[in-house]
């Protein structure tokens, strides 16, 4: 789960990371009021969406008057901001963050991520902030400093100082950097985060370290024990189908193709999508219904897939272990009748109670195509999609 910049800053500031003074606004008038409340002669107005690259997309501006703050904010509200990370559809802006302008002498990059290879938290830092980490890795890989943290020990003082010195900070700034690093580490660890990023972490003209931008992502599976994090969720920034599927325990990701998929198990889902590609088609989604799928859950999965208007064919591929083929078959038949499915449906069942599942489908009298293997199912689904396209 992602959160907004202002929410990440609020969390990190509670752990000890210095951030600029700012305020949230839901209207142009409120934006002007926030600027007056903060004081000073310059403010930075930032669109709040779940995406990086807002500045390049025109979502960030330094303003020199309250009127300019209001005018720029009015151009943001209700606008779909398109960045390199949002895709062509962009993300809608419903709130903006107003903060005091900072005197920037130098920009740094700082990120905490999970390194699956070492099974450690990895700190990635660079003396060149303000750029996307991918750009840094390509344009200046030598500037990147990496350090892993043993979770049994935590981030040691000597590690924090070593990284700070590697970034060529002054002795006074080394102490500040150590504080920032340890604060970010505690936030990452204590809140089940999957990513903490400060970009840029700036050195001001007076030599202070300040986080000008911040991102945090969290492990969705751990939200049940982090209510203070889960309440920060902003559904307006989520893809509606993915959000609705998640509410019912379904793992759904929308794609570009026309063959809808309903599968149990992430590995089998990936294999099915690959097989569709080998057969000459394109999957419209990734959908894992998980284990123990009841008929009602199958119906919900059908509705989720068919909400995509690009879907021309439905492919159901179930290898039942914890699941039962007869449950899935009952769900397919129920969905066919309740949802009034008009599209071709291909079903491949294997595993627990497979014979009973096949019998349920055959006895239903519905025009459901069955397949004996994954390859057979993919070929039938692609052929059905081609027939519909030709028609």
Task: Kindly state the tokens that stand for 218.
Answer: 């969290």
How many other CB atoms are found less than 10 A from the CB of residue 42? 15
Torsion 129-131-137-141 (CA) sign: negative
pLDDT in tens, the chain (391 residues): 899 999 999 999 999 999 999 999 999 999 999 999 999 999 999 999 998 889 888 999 999 999 999 999 999 999 999 988 887 788 999 999 999 999 999 999 999 999 988 889 999 999 887 766 777 777 777 778 999 999 889 999 999 999 999 999 998 899 999 999 999 999 999 999 999 999 999 999 999 999 999 999 999 889 899 999 999 998 887 777 777 666 666 778 888 889 999 888 888 889 999 999 999 999 988 888 876 666 777 888 888 888 888 899 999 998 877 778 888 888 888 888 888 788 899 999 988 888 999 999 999 888 889 998 999 999 999 999 999 888 7
Q: Is 90 annotated as a binding residue?
A: no
The residue behind tokens 């419903």 is 94
- Cis status, amide bond into 320, omega within 30 of 0: no
Residue 293: the pLDDT is: 63
Residues designated as active site? 109, 197
Q: How far apart are CA 185 and CA 154, in angstroms?
A: 8
**Ranges for all domains in the chain classified under CATH 3.40.50.261:** 239-390
pTM for this structure? 0.78
Q: Is 199 annotated as a binding residue?
A: yes
Task: Kindly state the tokens that stand for 246.
Answer: 């998640």
In the CATH scheme, what architecture does the domain 239-390 have?
Answer: 3-Layer(aba) Sandwich (3.40)
Give 251's strand partners: 288
Q: How far apart are CA 209 and CA 13, in angstroms?
A: 13
Q: Are 132 and 109 in contact (CB under 8 A)?
A: no
Q: Is 107 annotated as a binding residue?
A: yes
Task: Kindly state the tokens that stand for 378.
Answer: 């993919």
Q: Is 317 annotated as a binding residue?
A: no
Residue 323: the pLDDT is: 73
Residue 337: the pLDDT is: 85
The residue behind tokens 């390509």 is 138
Q: Is 138 annotated as a binding residue?
A: no
The domain 1-19+103-237 is classified under which CATH number: 3.90.1010.10, 3.40.50.1370, 3.30.470.20, 3.30.2310.20? 3.30.470.20
Q: Is 251 annotated as a binding residue?
A: no
Q: Is 102 annotated as a binding residue?
A: yes
Where b means 16+ CB within 10 Å and e means fewer, 182-207 reads bbbbebbbebebbebbbbbbbbbeee
CATH class in words for 21-101? alpha beta
Closest-CA residue to 332 (of 319, 345, 351, 323): 345
**Ranges for all domains in the chain classified under CATH 3.30.1490.20:** 21-101
**Distant-in-sequence, close-in-space partners of 20: CB < 8 Å, separation ≥ 6:** 44, 99, 100, 102, 210, 212
Q: Is 118 annotated as a binding residue?
A: no
Backbone angles phi, psi at 189, to 5 degrees: -70, -50
Q: Is 99 annotated as a binding residue?
A: yes
Residue 89: the pLDDT is: 82
Give 374: exposed, middle or buried? Use CB within 10 Å, 0-12, 13-18, 19+.
Answer: buried
**Distant-in-sequence, close-in-space partners of 304: CB < 8 Å, separation ≥ 6:** 241, 244, 245, 248, 250, 252, 287
3-state secondary structure the chain: CECCHHHHHHHHHHHCCCCCCEEEECCHHHHHHHHHHHCCCCEEEEECCCCCCCCCCCCEEEECCHHHHHHHHHHHCCCEECCCCCCCCCEECCCEEEEECCCEEEEEEEEEEEECCCCEEEEEEECCCCCCHHHHHHHCHHHEEEEEECCCCCCCHHHHHHHHHHCCCCHHHHHHHHHHHHHHHHHHHHCCEEEEEEEEEEEECCCCEEECCEEEEECHHHHHHCHHHHCCCCHHHCCHHHHHHHHCCCEEEECCCCEEEEECCHHHHHHHHHHHHHCCCCECEEEECCCCCCHHHHHHHHHHHHCCCCCCEEEEEEEECCCCHHHHHHHHHHHHHHCCCCCCEEEEEEECCHHHHHHHHHHHCCCEEEECCHHHHHHHHHHHHHHHHHC
Residue 366: half-sphere exposure toward Cβ, Cα within 13 Å: 25
Q: Is 46 annotated as a binding residue?
A: yes
Q: Are 325 and 289 in contact (CB under 8 A)?
A: no
**Ranges for all domains in the chain classified under CATH 3.30.470.20:** 1-19+103-237
């Amino acid at each position: 789960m992602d959160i907004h910049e202002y929410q990440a800053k609020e969390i990190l500031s509670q752990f000890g990371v210095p951030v600029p003074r700012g305020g949230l606004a839901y209207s142009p008038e409120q934006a002007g009021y926030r600027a007056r409340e903060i004081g000073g002669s310059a403010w930075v107005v930032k669109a709040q969406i779940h995406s990086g690259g807002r500045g390049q997309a025109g979502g960030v501006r330094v303003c020199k008057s309250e009127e300019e703050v209001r005018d720029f904010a009015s151009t943001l509200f209700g606008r779909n901001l398109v960045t390199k990370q949002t895709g062509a559809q962009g993300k809608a802006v419903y709130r903006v963050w107003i903060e005091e302008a900072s005197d920037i002498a130098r920009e740094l990059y700082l990120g905490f991520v999970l390194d699956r290879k070492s099974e450690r938290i990895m700190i990635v830092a660079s003396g060149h902030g303000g750029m996307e980490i991918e750009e840094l890795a390509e344009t200046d890989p030598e500037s990147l400093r990496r350090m892993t943290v043993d979770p049994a020990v935590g981030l040691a003082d000597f590690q924090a100082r070593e990284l700070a010195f590697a970034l060529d900070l002054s002795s006074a700034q080394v102490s500040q950097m150590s504080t920032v690093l340890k604060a970010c580490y505690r936030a990452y660890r204590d809140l089940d985060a999957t990513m903490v990023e400060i970009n840029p972490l700036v050195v001001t003209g007076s030599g202070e370290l300040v986080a000008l931008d911040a991102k945090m992502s969290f492990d969705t599976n751990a939200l049940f024990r982090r209510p203070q994090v889960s309440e920060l969720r902003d559904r307006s920034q989520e893809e509606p189908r993915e959000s609705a599927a998640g509410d019912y325990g379904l793992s759904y990701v929308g794609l570009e193709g026309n063959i809808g998929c309903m599968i149990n198990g992430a590995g089998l889902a990936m294999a099915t999508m690959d097989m569709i590609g080998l057969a000459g088609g394109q999957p419209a989604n990734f959908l894992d219904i998980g284990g123990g799928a009841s008929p009602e859950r199958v119906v919900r999965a059908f509705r989720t897939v068919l909400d995509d208007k690009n879907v021309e064919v439905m492919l159901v591929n179930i290898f039942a272990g914890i699941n039962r083929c007869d449950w899935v078959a009952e769900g397919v038949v129920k969905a066919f009748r309740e949802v009034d499915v008009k599209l071709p449906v291909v079903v491949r069942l294997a595993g627990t109670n497979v014979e009973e599942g096949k019998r349920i489908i055959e006895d239903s009298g519905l025009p459901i195509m069955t397949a004996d293997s994954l390859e057979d199912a993919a070929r039938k689904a692609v052929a059905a999609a081609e027939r519909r396209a030709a028609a």
